[in-house]
Structure 1
Amino acid sequence: METPPSDVAATHPVPDGQVVAPRPLPSPLAAVLVFLSSGAVLVLETASLRLVGPYVGVTLQVTSSVIGVALAAIAYGAWLGGWTADRRDPRPLLAPALVLAGIATAVTLPLVRYAGEVLRGGATAGILLLTALAVFLPAALLSAITPLVVKLQLGDLRRTGQVVGRLSSIGTLGGITATLGTGFVLVAALPSSAIMLGLAGVLGVTGIALGVYLRRQNRTTVPGKPRIKAVVAVLGLVGAGLTTVAPNPCDVETAYHCARVATDPAKPSGRMLLLNSAQHSYVDLADPTHLEFAYTRWFGAVADVLAPPGVRLDALHLGGGGFTMPRYLTATRPGTDNVVYEIDGELVKLAERELAARPGPDLRAVVGDARMLVAARPDASADLVVGDAFGHIAVPWHLATREMAAEIRRVVRPNGSYVQNVIDYPPLRFIRAELATVAAEFSHVALITEPDALTGTQGANFVIVAAQTPLPLTALRARLDVVSDGPVTLLSGSALTDFVGGALVLTDEYAPVDQLLATS
């Protein structure tokens, strides 16, 4: 019997009973496959946060779920790839794995968008299911490629450690490159749909090219059955077709948010800004003094008590959103200097374009992280600081600590005030902790909210009012009664102390904001 050629892709018995192993892939090709497949998993992981954010938010729980599901996919994919590599020739499996991973990536986009409409909310089961739909299948298919390649390269047992170590390091470098490239470049330049479809295209084209190459190099490889090829092609077309008709919750996808501006059906001039499908701001294009949300009316009441209408203020806003409060202060107090610290530059452009936020002498938007920008601001430079920065429904943890409160106290003038919007849910652990934190730096603190919110029966907005001098509580109470549609509670003194109880003070060392917001 003639000995098979050395480039055969499957093991073959020879006359003396020995076995000829599959010929290794060229080292550069093996490196490219491991680099690409490992990197693609990290692109999926990063982009999936953008996909699921509009439906379940961008919280620590969501981030943890994406990471956990991705790691599970890597573990199961690597195990399955290794198990298969020991039972079948890995060569003819590489190209189909890449093509199927590309199809799975393309289908992920419409799948998440349809399922997201059903699973919308922050329930743990919904978060886990939606992140699994976004990540698991394509990541598992991609993670199976590395053990297939490793099996092909292990032709010499004396070099096993070198081969495994080299390919492992290349895979890690692929993941690092993809993480940095996606986070710093792709997300800033492209919407998540373009990232996902682009990745699907790269995987599909690479798989097809690899299949052609291996077929030419390996005479014994049997081309795929026409029926299987047809099914794969149909799946790819279905995925692309579903993507074109899947509901898109975004008008604009920024580096931080899925943003949409909706017209109020009851008021043609009314505009609602939705970030990750949550209502964040309301603007009346025809009337900048109109404050739709209760908490913005409470902000306005504090400003009205701090300075009578017509008296200018130096106001600092932490978070821009729809620029509702800067427009209100400019309209009621001409000459007011509004400085807005907003981390999302694209959101600033959206507000300028669609929400009548007009930059000028009375409104300056500074793009950057509020924590760092406040630290660089001069002492005693603001009459009013408005804290309204959110990542989905949570105040970013580094803006909720005592160290941040100390910086705000430093920039607030002795007769000025700090107001902060907080959202919390029963059992109200976060608002208690944040009150304790602000009170650790400011001598006088009060809380504005709806009566039902204090009973712990529903989630609500809470506005913290803080100053170094005694608060004008009587005047504030009277003004709240004027601007509010319903009953409003103003807590201060011993009643506020009783409400706060023994709540912890949040610090840069320990600020579990997401855990405090959890309802269980």
Structure 2
Amino acid sequence: MSSTSSDVVAEPAPSAPVPPRALPNGLAAFLVFLSSGAVLVLETVSLRLVGPYVGVTLQVTSSVIGMALGAIAYGAWMGGWLADRRDPRTLLAPALVLAGIATAVTLPVVRYAGEALRGGAASAVLLLTALAVLLPAALLAGVTPLVVKLQLADLRRTGQVVGRLSGIGTLGGITATLVTGFVLVAALPSTVIVLALAGVLGVTGLVLGAYLRRGSGTGLPGPTRAKAALAVLGLAGAGLSAVAPNPCDVETAYHCARVEVDGQWTQGRTLYLNSAEHSYVDLADPTHLKYAYTQWIGLVADLARPPKQRMDALHLGGGGFTMPRYLAATRPGSDNLVFEIDGGLVELDRRELGVRTGPQLRARVGDARVLLGAEPTDSRDFIVGDAFGHLVVPWHLATREMAADIRRVLRPDGIYVQNVIDYPPDRFIRAELATVAAEFRNVALIAPPGAIAGQAGANFLIVASDAPLPLAGIPAQLRLLPEPARLLHGDKLAAFVGDALVLTDDFAPVDQLLATA
């Protein structure tokens, strides 16, 4: 009896998937540093991009920060999800290239959309800030989880790898925030910053793709046609940026500024700040006051002191230097000191608006609140507060503590005039009147009748002093001006103010008071 035997050949055990090869530590750190820093550059510059259309208010700042954080959250989640399903080495280069394209496209998208969404409505703010930062920041936020996945070859070092890369990403964000805020914004227009960032991201992605392709045969996925489409999209984004409407001739550290020649008078110049008319200057005649509120200020100054009598005046906010030039021309020997936070604006005024500083007209660059604190007590006859715009209101200049410091600097018979822009239901002007009245014994208001009735937005001029105000001559002088205006004081002013909030350094919700909805 014979027996047969057969050899049983065991099937080879399936091999575990080979994890993607880790990146060199230096390259991994660079990619995380760059992508995290780029998000913060976008966040900071986005405030400059949307400011000319919706202002730089607390809501706008909060919206930009919120959109950036949302982009980081969703981008990191998506990047981690993709890292578990595909080789991260095939995704890194495309993510950077796409982020560069999205960054370049941000400029025309924001500028075209900004023209349509101009104003300060909450929905416009949210939409415009989303268009400015959401997509490129999300793509950039996806880079870090892709890199982390590649570096986690040894589970015993998970905490060390994640902690190191997380720390490097944070340092990238801090560095980008400081460099952008202190250097780039002051030295370069927003357009240059955004396009340069787009270029850096795109070139980094292309170089990284070539490096990875040479090392492992992977790189930008997809056929040549897809790569060509990406290149065309990037060029289209840059091209659209060149032709998109730009609201700025000059970008200073604080403003998007433009100067236009008056079509009816060749010596007339209009200064636009953040797309809004801010100042009118007559190069040939500094006594020519075009805007109604400047006429009111001139009227009060002329009633407060005899004509041509010198005056020690302080101007909180320079703008186009309309009022300092007026007082210097009408009151020889006067001392006009201007506090202007934006040194770039002062240079623009010198270059295009004929501002000539000297003994009668001095400009000091810095925050008005800080500079005011260094002024001597009882040193000024006349203080002009004109630092508020219709989209930008520095709240710390609107509080009772600020009014108290203005009162300290004024001489006992000195007068403070403050230009305020507000819209129905006029909550801010009422609160500001209540705030100024909390410090000064005598307060009055000059404004158009329609604005007092709550029918339209307008400039309001607060007039305040511890001494009796020269009210008797104001109504007759107002009737001589081209635009109608009324004077409110006493019981009528108290009725207009009602129970309005007194603003303080501890609680000054200026942006909310200015909201029209």
Q: After TM superposition, is the score higher than 0.5?
A: yes
2:281 paired residue number: 283
Deviation string for 1:151-206 (max 9, x for gaps)? Answer: 11111222222221211111111111111110001000100001001101110111
Query: What SS does structure 1 have at the residue aligned with 2:502?
Result: coil
**1:509 maps to what in 2?**
506
**Structure-2 separation of matches of 1:118 and 1:507:** 36
Cα displacement string for residues 105-151 of structure 1 (whole angstroms, at most 9, x for unaligned residues): 11111221122222222222222222111111111110110111111
Structure label with greater radius of gyration: 2
Query: Which residue in 2 is equivalent to 1:495?
Result: 492
Q: CA deviation at 1:391?
A: 5.2
Which residue number corresponds to residue 159 of structure 2? Answer: 161
Name 1:187's counterpart in structure 2: 185
Q: Distance in 1 between matches of 2:14 and 2:120?
A: 65
Match of 2:482 in 1: 485
CA contact (8 A) 2:99 2:139 kept: yes
C-alpha deviations, 1:358-381, integer Å up to 9, x for none? 111111000000001100000111
Distance 1:18 1:75 in 2: 32
Say whether 1:102 aligns with 2:100. yes
Contact 1:427 1:456 in 2 (8 A): yes
Aligned to 1:8: none
Quick one: which amino acid aligns to residue 504 of structure 1? L
CA shift for structure 1 position 224: 4.3
Instruction: Identify if the C-alpha distance between structure 1 residues 271 and 18 changes in structure 2 by more than 3 Å, giving closer, same or farther.
Output: same
Letter in 1 for 2:193: I
- Correspondence for 1:9: none
Cα distance, 1:412–1:216 mapped onto 2, change above 3 Å? same
Instruction: Name the CA distance, whole Å, in 2 between partners of 1:364 and 1:464.
Output: 25
Match of residue 79 from structure 1: 77
Structure 2 residue 377 is matched with structure 1 residue 379: yes
Equivalent residue, structure 2, for 1:11: none
Alignment of 1:354-393 (within 5 A): 354-390=352-388, 392-393=390-391
Is the CA contact (8 Å cut-off) linking 1:305 and 1:479 kept in structure 2? no
Question: Deviation of residue 43 (structure 1)?
Answer: 0.2
* Alpha carbons of structure 1 residues 221 and 43: separation in structure 2 relative to 1, 3 Å: closer
Instruction: Select 1:339's aligned residue among 321, 337, 340.
Output: 337
1:222–1:231 Cα change, 3 Å: closer
Partner of 1:430: 428
Q: Give the match for residue 121 of structure 1.
A: 119
**Aligned counterparts of 2:286 and 2:399: Cα–Cα separation in 1:** 32
1:28 aligns with 2:4: no
Could you tell me how far 1:456 is from its partner in structure 2?
1.3
Counterpart in 1 of 2:314? 316
For residues 91-490 of structure 1, the aligned pairs below 5 Å read 91-219=89-217, 224-390=222-388, 392-482=390-480, 484-490=481-487
Which SS does the other structure have where 1:142 is aligned?
A: helix
Alpha-carbon separation, structure 1, partners of 2:251 and 2:219: 45
Alpha-carbon separation, structure 1, partners of 2:185 and 2:410: 36
3-state SS of the aligned residue for 1:46?
Answer: helix
TM-score, normalized by length of structure 2?
0.95
Q: Are the structure 2 counterparts of residues 220 and 454 from structure 1 closer, same or farther at C-alpha, using a change threshold of 3 Å?
A: closer
Deviation at 1:299, TM superposition (A): 0.4
- Aligned to 1:383, the other structure's residue is in SS state strand
**2 CA distance for matches of 1:468 and 1:281?**
29
Alpha-carbon distance, 1:308 to partner: 1.9
Q: Distance in 2 between matches of 1:461 and 1:254?
A: 25
Q: Which amino acid aligns with 1:366?
A: R
Q: In structure 1, how many angstroms separate the alpha carbons of the residues matched to 2:224 and 2:78? A: 26
Amino acid at match of 1:193: T
Unpaired segments ≥5 residues, structure 2: 1-11
Q: CA deviation at 1:221?
A: 5.7
Task: Single out whichever of 157-166 and 39-48 deviates more from structure 2.
Answer: 157-166
Shift in CA distance, 475/392, structure 1 to aligned 2, threshold 3 Å: closer
Deviation per residue, 1:62-83 (Å, 9 max, x gap) = 1122111111111111111111
Instruction: Answer yes or no: is the 8 Å Cα contact 2:94–2:220 preserved in 1.
Output: no
**Does the residue aligned with 2:473 lie in a helix, a strand or coil?**
helix
Deviation at 1:222, TM superposition (A): 7.6
One-letter amino acid matched to 2:500 = A
Q: Contact 1:106/1:200 (CA < 8 Å) preserved in 2?
A: yes
Preserved CA contact (<8 Å) 1:394 1:513 = no
**Superposition deviation, residue 223 in structure 1:** 5.9
* 8 Å CA contact 1:395, 1:422 repeated in 2: no
- Aligned alpha-carbon RMSD (Å): 1.4
Task: Output the CA distance in 2 between the equivalents of 1:470 and 1:223.
Answer: 79
Residues 264-294 of structure 1, C-alpha deviations (whole Å, 9 max, x = no match): 2122221111001011101111211111111
Letter in 2 for 1:509: D
Matched AA of 1:379: T
Deviations 1:316-365 (A, max 9, x none): 00000000001111121111111000000010011111111111111100
Residues 460 and 20 (structure 1 numbering): CA distance in 2 closer, same or farther, change over 3 Å? same
Residue pair 2:424, 2:454 contacting (<8 A) in 1 also: yes
User: Are the equivalent residues in 2 in contact too, given 1:65–1:127 (CA < 8 A)?
Assistant: yes
CA distance in 1, matches of 2:35, 2:218: 26
Please, which of 6, 16, 19 is the counterpart of residue 17 of structure 2?
Answer: 19
1:477-507 deviation line (CA, Å, top 9, x unaligned): 222223x223311111111112111111111
Q: Give 1:217 deviation, angstroms.
A: 1.6
Q: Write the distance in 2 (CA, Å) between the matches of 1:264 and 1:68.
A: 41
What secondary structure does 2:472 align onto? helix
Measured in 2, the distance between the counterparts of 1:304 and 1:201 equals: 57
What displacement does 1:450 show?
Answer: 0.8
Counterparts of 2:218 and 2:224 in 1: how far apart (Å)?
18
Q: Is 2:93–2:220's contact at 8 Å kept on the other side of the alignment?
A: no
Shift of 1:34: 0.7
* Contact map agreement 2:113 2:128 (CA 8 A) in 1: yes
Partner Cα distance (1:221, 1:333) in 2 = 73
Q: In the TM superposition, what is the alpha-carbon distance from 1:22 to its structure 2 partner?
A: 1.1
Question: What amino acid is aligned across from residue 505 of structure 1 in structure 2?
Answer: V
- Letter of the 2:489 counterpart: S
- Determine the C-alpha separation between the residues in 2 that align with 1:206 and 1:428: 52
Output one character per residue of 1:27-67: Cα deviation in whole Å (capped at 9) or x when no partner.
11111111110100000011111111112221122112211
Q: CA deviation at 1:209?
A: 1.1
Give the secondary-structure state (helix, strand or coil) at the position aligned to 2:290.
coil
* Cα deviation, residue 17, structure 1: 3.0
After superposition, the Cα gap between the structure-2 partners of 1:368 and 1:220, relative to the gap in structure 1 and judged at 3 Å, is: closer
Q: Distance in 1 between matches of 2:172 and 2:129?
A: 22
Matched residue count: 506
The Cα of 1:240 is off from its aligned counterpart by 1.7
What is the alpha-carbon distance in structure 2 between the residues aligned to residue 114 and residue 259 of structure 1? 18
Structure 2 distance, partners of 1:220, 1:322, is 58
Paired residue type of 1:264? D
**How far apart, CA to CA, are the structure 2 residues paired with 1:480 and 1:365?**
31
* TM-score, reference length from structure 1: 0.95
Equivalents in 1 of 2:377, 2:469: separation in Å? 21
Q: Could you tell me whether the CA contact under 8 Å between 2:210 and 2:219 is conserved in 1?
A: no
